[in-house]
Structure 1
Amino acid sequence: MNKQQITNILPGLAICICIALLSTFLGTYIQSIGSATIAILLGIIAGNTCCKNERFTAGTKFAEGTLLSCSIVLLGTTIHIQALFLLGVYGVGFILMQLLLTIVSAIWIGKKLGFSENFQLLMASGNGVCGSSAIASTAPVIGANDTEKGISITIVNLLGTVLMLLLPLVATVLYNGETNQSAALLGGILQSVGQVVASGSLMDESIKELALLFKVIRILFLVVVVLSFSYWKQRSGSHEQAVKQKKTNIPWYIIGFFLMCTLFSLGVLSPTLSHISKSISGAFELIALAGIGMHIKIDQLIAYGMKASLYGLCIGLIQIGSAILLIYVLL
């Protein structure tokens, strides 16, 4: 990267960093919404008011591209493959079935509502695996545009915020706070790790810890989901140049994620380094979400608005229904 490129990146990146810092501050006071959603909303406001100028574009692109990719790689330092064995066959089976049902239903509903195939796959990965990180991982390999990526991240985060507050109530009514079943409900549905932590904290410490374990299992399937969607697009031939460019390449951040996960599982990376990496990953993600928000135009959001919200609501209801059924059968 030369001096001119750095100069071009700085204005937009500085705005994204400021938004991330402000969202972190506000998130401590508005915990029901969370920093991620606040960062997106502030980004949308900035991108449609005071920061419309083209000079911010290079920096926001860097934030939502390079920084978010680095965030995904660093996320791997927090995932231990041993989690697969701690939950047992039925626990892993629950997550796998829930993941498949979420993906299939997201694609089916998206088709019925007339959304593009790219948008369907982004909503499927975001709701099925790990929210913003999964969408950011999927978008480049399927050739999704900025609007599809931005709107899907916004809808997934808003849905996650609603479910974060709703699921503890559902778990209390259905399971009377029983640890295993309540944790499976939270960890098997909620989109982001932060939402799992926040939702679990509304119930019990043991539920929160076990819910995180269920969530970790879902994140372990990130690589499989991204590569499967990439293969799907290649076979369908429904996006042209982007597939041709990526046809034989596994994205570097997916390789990095799997490598970091392996190194952490083998004990090469210490828990201290893992904790530091998690903090950096979270910071990079917030900066990236601010950049993504800045690329969402209000008129585009309105155009997607009600229909996309209905899409998210339908996915959320199916996730809850399928999780309750699978918990009854398997756990």
Structure 2
Amino acid sequence: MNKSADKTNDFRSGTFRLVARSAEAAAGAIRQQLGERAKVVSVRSVPVRGWQRFLGASRIEVIAEVPPLEGRAGSSEAATRIPAVAGFQSGGVMISDAGGPEAGAPALADWLRGRGVSQAALRQMESLPFWSGIADNLPLAESFGLMRDDLCRLGAAHRGRSLPARTAFLGGPGAGKTTALCRWLHREVVRHGRLGVVWWMEPDAGPVSPALSACCEQLRIPLVRHGSEASPAGGDFVYVDPPPISADPEANARMRDFLEREEITGRVLVLNAAYADKSLLAACKAGRALGATHVVLTHLDEVSCWPGLWEVLLGEGLAPLFLTASAGWAPGITENVIEAMLERTLPAS
């Protein structure tokens, strides 16, 4: 490293944002301009603007922190840091002061907002125990650790809320509720050796879902239309595939009456995570009206901003059951929902 550059950076500290074409270019700029004390906090892809996007150009954003040297804190440090770095380019890498608070809960809140966490989800996080434990001078990386530990404990508590033996999978058109049910059946029968029956409910005696029929046939699980014959209720479970949640409140009220009458106490709300925020929250409202107890997020392979889903997971009072992608009913579920969300939200520990 150039000795004069290293000397210039000896007293620089704070949080910096770098935009580069590659991780290698960013790493070189960090070493040259921010010094050996710099630590990478997060890395994410950022969209390319203008005509370059048509050529397949890509960019990454790197947030790096430089801790202060002992005995070198104070206003003189800030005065050297900001003018020296703001808007500086090194080898095609744009480096700028990240701005905003550099430590404590305000820094964490700013960082999470930048990742796509909604204000409503932030309010939910602020009510968790870890938030009050973030000291004013706590570095951002250590705040991430507190957040990760607390939310992992929350995830473990959610996994303790197992499904009741009689459970319905609820969801609007396009949510993937029948596919989600099939994947859960595979998990129950193949991985855990449990046996039971599936009730299929559709108005006007329509045809059974081909996917559900094939799934039950392969797993050797009885699939019966509720009300068309004696519906067996033996075994370890009764899972119900009802009609989609309707835009008609009266139809939903009839569905809830049926669930109460048949003592279907477990109610899994299946949501297409690729839908717009307003559609997701509207579906959550409909699910709560039906007494939903758990939530499944589908189509995660189509979601570009996972942190935007925290509002659903923290703000609706539903236990996360699993995450899944969009195609097929074969295995492919993630039950450690909170941990998977943290991997997509926070930098690697």
| Same fold per superposition (TM over 0.5) | no
Higher helix share: 1
TM-score by length of 2: 0.24
- The structure showing larger relative contact order (alpha-carbon pairs under 8 Å, at least 6 residues apart) is 1
TM-score by length of 1: 0.24
Higher strand share: 2
Return the index of the structure with the highest Cα Rg: 2
